[in-house]
Structure 1
């Protein structure tokens, strides 16, 4: 855990105040690190670390060859999560997404962590599908990687989520075609810092905060039929969980 009294953290707090109080409005080009260091009585390295922290938080942005600027507020997209598939079935792409690209690969050995989530053996064959979700300007706003056991879908018309007569349909619809009723999903959201590859895919700075949602669908026998990692930039989305509760009188 970072020391909140470290010089760069104190400088970062001062930068946040300058932004929140309007001293540095969006689009402002920050003074040079030498000038900022003189104002705050610290060295250039301390200023650099403070700037890097605020870039990760989405408050500043570095422009190669032009300096560091106060980042304009990003339009927030709204994602409604419906943990109970029948209340109602959540669409494949949430509101704010215009289109998506998908690429499926069959017979991919399940890594140990994925195998544990799917209750299969490590190395068992799965279909791995990588999704890139885009807004109306063709900018990436979410990625997802899903895994489905080929023991369930292999040899059927729904084996590839991005192809065949059910290509582009939800997991719920595709499993229903096989007579499998998806009745439950478990989602585990957690904050992460995007690594270099993830940041490149989402068009955000490396190390920027993102929300990772680990989602797994289950059938009536409590068998996992699909698991996926959804990754979204923390500063672009508002995520709501809409959960249907059963009252005591209905139980």
Structure 2
């Protein structure tokens, strides 16, 4: 195997020291010259390593001062049951309330047409009309999660739930909303991946470029096989962990 690039080796050493607590939150790194001597590399290599850790959200820098280890935010657990609606309330608000936090969101919905990828996930024709909703979820006023959802207008158009956050079912979960128009959801499909945040997502989440996010592609399906909603849920990996409880039959 080819040797590990020097800046990656330095970054990995510092990353492990931060993760294990050897470098505690609030601690300043040694000088660039000291790190270069310790790792037997140039100061330019150290600078590249530090830049990586800043992008990952492990360090922050100030002009004229050595980098500081960032405090790790409290991690919110999203249990698998988070996706199971409780009649009369929002699953997100209920989860936040259980952890002593206030959950809220802002949303923008618009009519559009399904891309090929969205159409495939919903089992509909490409360019079929859908309602797209872009959510920014907040805990205690701070953005913590993004979600973009698509619902086929062939199912919801002309019903009280066509606009997810307006009408008598505003703020309710997908299961309860769909049940109101006799669409009985029986299962959820999910695909989990991770990637760096985009610039637009980073601005909405108030995180730095390069921050890793978890992406959950979630699709709700009914007992009749109709796919009534699909969504991309974006979670910063340093703020959330997702726990799954799967029954064994």
For Structure 1 versus Structure 2, the TM-score category normalised by the shorter chain is 0.7 to 0.9
| CA positional deviation for 1:33 | 3.2
The residue that corresponds to 2:106 in the other structure is 102
Q: Deviations over 1:6-46 (max 9, x none)?
A: 10122113313543565532112224434433443323332
| Structure 2 CA distance for aligned equivalents of residues 4 and 57 of structure 1 | 23
1:143 aligns with 2:142: no
1:185 aligns with 2:207: no
> Which ranges in structure 1 are unaligned for 5 or more consecutive residues?
247-251
Instruction: Tell me which stretches of 4 or more aligned residues in structure 1 moved more than 6 Å.
Output: 86-90
Query: Are the counterparts in 2 of residues 191 and 210 from structure 1 also a CA contact under 8 Å?
Result: yes
Out of 201-210 and 64-73, give the one that drifted further: 64-73
| Structure 2 CA distance for aligned equivalents of residues 26 and 83 of structure 1 | 31
| CA positional deviation for 1:66 | 4.9
Q: Deviations over 1:126-166 (max 9, x none)?
A: 11111111112x11111111110111100111101111111
SS at match of 1:82: helix
The residue that corresponds to 1:91 in the other structure is 91
The residue that corresponds to 1:75 in the other structure is 74
* Higher share in helix: 2
| Structure 2 CA distance for aligned equivalents of residues 213 and 21 of structure 1 | 28
1:119 aligns with 2:123: yes
| Structure 2 CA distance for aligned equivalents of residues 63 and 203 of structure 1 | 18
Query: Are the counterparts in 2 of residues 83 and 241 from structure 1 also a CA contact under 8 Å?
Result: no
Q: 1:102 to 1:84 in 2, by over 3 A?
A: closer
SS at match of 1:130: strand
Q: 1:34 to 1:79 in 2, by over 3 A?
A: same
1:16 aligns with 2:15: yes
Q: 1:84 to 1:40 in 2, by over 3 A?
A: closer
Instruction: Report the TM-score when normalising by structure 1.
Output: 0.86
Q: 1:217 to 1:193 in 2, by over 3 A?
A: same
| Structure 2 CA distance for aligned equivalents of residues 198 and 70 of structure 1 | 24
Query: Are the counterparts in 2 of residues 144 and 229 from structure 1 also a CA contact under 8 Å?
Result: yes
Query: Are the counterparts in 2 of residues 82 and 243 from structure 1 also a CA contact under 8 Å?
Result: no
| Structure 2 CA distance for aligned equivalents of residues 61 and 118 of structure 1 | 42
| CA positional deviation for 1:55 | 2.9
Q: Deviations over 1:81-117 (max 9, x none)?
A: 2398489998144335622223242321111111111
| Structure 1 CA distance for aligned equivalents of residues 83 and 131 of structure 2 | 24
The residue that corresponds to 1:166 in the other structure is 169
Q: 1:64 to 1:112 in 2, by over 3 A?
A: farther
| Structure 2 CA distance for aligned equivalents of residues 84 and 73 of structure 1 | 26
Out of 107-116 and 87-96, give the one that drifted further: 87-96
* Aligned alpha-carbon RMSD (Å): 2.7
Q: 1:121 to 1:20 in 2, by over 3 A?
A: closer
The residue that corresponds to 1:62 in the other structure is 61
Q: How many residues align?
A: 244
SS at match of 1:222: coil
SS at match of 1:36: helix
The residue that corresponds to 1:133 in the other structure is 137
